Amino acid sequence: MTDKDCLKKVIALRRQIHQCPELGGREFKTTALAGKTLKAAGIRYKRFHPTGLMAELGNKPGPCVAIRADMDALPLAEKTQSVFQSRCPGIMHACGHDAHTAMVLTTALRLAKEARYLPGQVKFFFQPDEETSQGARQLVKQGVMDCPKVQAVFGLHVFPWLPAGTIGIKPGPLMASVDRFFIEIIGEGGHGAYPHNGRDAIAISAHVIQSLQYLVARQVDPVAPVVVTVGTVQGGNRFNILADKVVLTGTVRTLSDYWHGKMSRIIPDTVKGMVKALGGTCRIRYDTLSHAVINNAPMAALARKAAVKVVGQKKVIDLEHPSMGGEDFSEYLKKAPGCFVYLGTGADAKTKHPWHHPSFFLHEPSMLVGVKFLSELTKQCLSRLNANEI
């Protein structure tokens, strides 16, 4: 498959997906398009509940490498004014998942042309529901990493702040874990003029919010990145009535398993202690949505080697700092070593809007770099695994 044909195909697929965005767990049309595209190329695939799909190429026996794409869109009204913008009011692809799906599909089509020469097998994951950090866990539970067992897994994400056509790689911690908490503070209502006769849940919640920031400042190692954010505060009925209940929700981000585990214990303990001291009661729910994305060093080195071959040394960027954003790609990394890589797509002011922005716009020619990189990385990884070199 020539580069020209690849670029034409990946752009066509991306635009078709972009026009019909679907929210997490509802990617029925996107999955159908993926299946239709794979079937036309003679590539075997399997569907997973509710909207996942896995394609397979290559030869048995031999090592197995997996490439993952996410498919879901966001509840956001598009403002790009492009000729192929979303046809679904209030839903758009503002994080590049349309490009990820198109690139992995095109990579499968490209590798299918040389499938008989692959020294092993390749799985292509088309994953639903990344934005709520549920999709990867669903696919793993349904066995995508098994039979045959995946020995290396890779993912690629568009990055608007890296120059178009570059590839950004970082071994070790790349993205943070994502936790969510729900805190219901229960006080006692009363007249706002006589606060001593009640238990003001709003006043208690103010102390709780401050205590959450204090524990990061004074109970967490200063060199360990930890973020605690209270995102919503809901409570109260009227200006002169003591609130009898306040609900707080928020997120916690960490970059190590140690602090990930510790924060899930000290946050509930801190909240319970503060609320009790101020005369209230509380209910707490703490959910782990995804773990930190920690790239395997040998796999990152292999990805870097493939990137240099595709784009040249000057266009490979060694990322210095991790991100406190999250990614459920971490679920695959719990099962096999791998690497999550960034593809630069920032070419001008129009293509440098951040993820989740209503004017998010993609530099489409960069997708060819993504396809060539994933193809080269897959072949290099299979060869190295076959030779027991990694």
d(CA 322, CA 176): 8
Give yes or no: residues 155 and 44 share one domain: yes
Give yes or no: residues 106 and 124 share one domain: yes
Q: What is the pLDDT of residue 59?
A: 78
Cβ 139 vs Cβ 52: under 8 Å:
yes
pTM of the entire predicted model: 0.93
Give yes or no: residues 184 and 161 share one domain: no
What pairs with residue 70 in β-bridges? 127
Q: Write down which residue in 264, 290, 316 finishes a domain.
A: 290
Interacting residues of 152 by C-beta distance below 8 A, sequence separation 6+: 63, 65, 66, 299, 336, 337, 338, 381, 385, 390
Cβ 242 vs Cβ 190: under 8 Å:
yes
Give yes or no: residues 338 and 235 share one domain: no
Give yes or no: residues 354 and 213 share one domain: no
d(CA 53, CA 221): 42
Overall number of domains in the chain: 2
Give yes or no: residues 316 and 279 share one domain: no
Give yes or no: residues 132 and 182 share one domain: no
Give yes or no: residues 183 and 152 share one domain: no
Give yes or no: residues 165 and 64 share one domain: yes
Give yes or no: residues 310 and 382 share one domain: yes
Give yes or no: residues 184 and 270 share one domain: yes
CATH value at residue 272: 3.30.70.360
Taking alpha carbons only, the member of 98, 121, 95 closest to residue 20 is: 98
CATH value at residue 30: 3.40.630.10
Interacting residues of 95 by C-beta distance below 8 A, sequence separation 6+: 73, 74, 131, 355, 356, 360
263: containing domain: 178-290
Q: What is the pLDDT of residue 60?
A: 76
Taking alpha carbons only, the member of 65, 72, 118 closest to residue 296 is: 65
* pLDDT mean by block of 10 residues, the chain; 390 residues: 94 98 97 98 96 92 95 97 96 98 98 92 98 95 96 98 97 97 97 94 97 93 95 96 97 95 95 97 96 97 98 97 95 98 96 96 97 97 91
Q: What is the pLDDT of residue 389?
A: 86
Q: Write down which residue in 290, 306, 324 finishes a domain.
A: 290
Give yes or no: residues 279 and 329 share one domain: no
